[in-house]
Amino acid sequence: MEKVRYFDHAATTYTKEEVLKEMLPYFSLNFGNASSIYSLGRKSRKAVEEAREKIAKAISASAKEIYFTSCGSESDNLAIKGVAYANKCKGNHIITTKIEHPAVLHTCQNLERQGFKVTYLNVDKEGLINLEELENSICDDTILISVMFANNEIGTIEPIKEIGQIAKKHGVCFHTDAVQAIGNVRINVEEMNIDLLSMSAHKFYGPKGMGALYVRNGVKFEKLQDGGHQERNMRAGTENVAGIVGIGKAIELAYDNFDKYNEKLISLRDYYISKVEEKIPFVKVNGHRQKRLPGNANISFKFVEGDAILLKLDAKGICASSGSACSTGSPSPSHVLLAIGLEPETAYGTLRVTFGEENTKEDVDYLLDTLEEVINNLRKNSKMYTEFMKKGQM
Ligand SMILES: *Cc1c(COP(=O)(O)O)cnc(C)c1O
Indicate which CATH number applies to the domain containing 313: 3.90.1150.10
Check if 146 has its Cβ closer than 6 Å to any atom of ligand 1. no
Q: Is the pLDDT of residue 325 over 50?
A: no
Most informative mutation of 73, 151, 292 for ligand 1 (most atoms within 8 A of CB)? 73
For residue 214, the surrounding DSSP H or E stretch is: strand 211-215
CA distance 366 to 22: 34
Confidence of residue 391 (pLDDT cuts 50, 70, 90): confident
CA distance 56 to 172: 23
> Do both 37 and 95 map to the same domain?
yes
Check if 212 has its Cβ closer than 6 Å to any atom of ligand 1. no
* Cβ atoms of residues 322 and 351 within 8 Å: yes
CA distance 63 to 79: 17
> Do both 149 and 268 map to the same domain?
no
Check if 195 has its Cβ closer than 6 Å to any atom of ligand 1. no
Closest by CA position to 360, among listed 241, 264, 225: 264
> Do both 189 and 221 map to the same domain?
yes
What's the rounded mean pLDDT across residues 356-370?
98
Task: Give me the pLDDT at residue 324, please.
Answer: 47
What's the rounded mean pLDDT across residues 12-24?
98
How many angstroms is it from 5 CA to the middle of ligand 1? 22
What's the chain's average pLDDT? 96
Q: Cβ of 166: how many Cβ atoms within 10 Å?
A: 18
Closest by CA position to 45, among listed 63, 18, 19, 65: 63
What's the rounded mean pLDDT across residues 207-235?
98
How many angstroms is it from 278 CA to the middle of ligand 1? 33
Closest by CA position to 204, among listed 309, 357, 98: 357
For residue 261, the surrounding DSSP H or E stretch is: helix 258-279
* Cβ atoms of residues 210 and 198 within 8 Å: no
CA distance 141 to 92: 6
Q: Is the pLDDT of residue 329 over 90?
A: no
> Do both 176 and 128 map to the same domain?
yes
CA distance 245 to 141: 40
Atom of ligand 1 nearest to the CA of 103: 10
Q: What percent of the chain has pLDDT over 90?
A: 94
End-of-domain residue from the set 231, 256, 281: 256
> Do both 78 and 38 map to the same domain?
yes
User: Would the pTM of this model clear 0.95, i.e. be above it?
Assistant: yes
End-of-domain residue from the set 235, 256, 277: 256
Confidence of residue 326 (pLDDT cuts 50, 70, 90): very low
> Do both 265 and 365 map to the same domain?
yes
CA distance 145 to 194: 10
> Do both 273 and 252 map to the same domain?
no
Check if 99 has its Cβ closer than 6 Å to any atom of ligand 1. no
Task: Give me the pLDDT at residue 1, please.
Answer: 55
Provide the CATH number for the domain around residue 189.
3.40.640.10
Count CA within 13 A, CB hemisphere, residue 140.
1
Confidence of residue 3 (pLDDT cuts 50, 70, 90): confident
Q: Which residues of 299-320 are buried (b: 16+ CB within 10 A; e: fewer)?
A: bbbbbbbbebbbebbeeeebbb
> Do both 137 and 206 map to the same domain?
yes
Positions marked catalytic: 326
Q: Count how many domains the chain has.
A: 2
CA R_g for the chain? 22
Atom of ligand 1 nearest to the CA of 12: 1
> Do both 277 and 244 map to the same domain?
no
Instruction: Take atom 5 of ligand 1 and give the residue whose Cα is closest.
Output: 72
Query: Which amino acid, one-letter code, is at 123?
Result: V
Q: Is the pLDDT of residue 45 over 50?
A: yes
Query: Collapsing DSSP states into helix, strand and coil, what is residue 66?
Result: strand
> Do both 262 and 174 map to the same domain?
no
> Do both 200 and 274 map to the same domain?
no
Atom of ligand 1 nearest to the CA of 210: 7
Task: Give me the pLDDT at residue 203, please.
Answer: 98
Task: Give me the pLDDT at residue 210, please.
Answer: 98
Confidence of residue 323 (pLDDT cuts 50, 70, 90): low
End-of-domain residue from the set 223, 239, 256: 256
CA dihedral 315, 316, 321, 322 (to 10 degrees): -60
320 to each of 46, 209, 230, 311, 324, how far by Cα in Å?
Answer: 39, 22, 38, 10, 10
CA distance 293 to 265: 9
Confidence of residue 245 (pLDDT cuts 50, 70, 90): very high
> Do both 61 and 92 map to the same domain?
yes
CA distance 375 to 174: 42
219 to each of 65, 216, 251, how far by Cα in Å?
Answer: 10, 6, 24
Atom of ligand 1 nearest to the CA of 200: 7
CA distance 319 to 275: 19
The pLDDT tens digits of the residues spanning 153-170 come to 999 999 999 999 999 999
Residues spanned by the domain of 189: 17-256
CA distance 334 to 328: 9
- Helices then strands, counting H and E runs in the chain, come out as 13, 12
Segment among 122-126, 188-192, 285-289, 381-385 with least mean pLDDT: 381-385
Task: Give me the pLDDT at residue 328, please.
Answer: 52
Check if 177 has its Cβ closer than 6 Å to any atom of ligand 1. yes
What's the rounded mean pLDDT across residues 351-375?
98
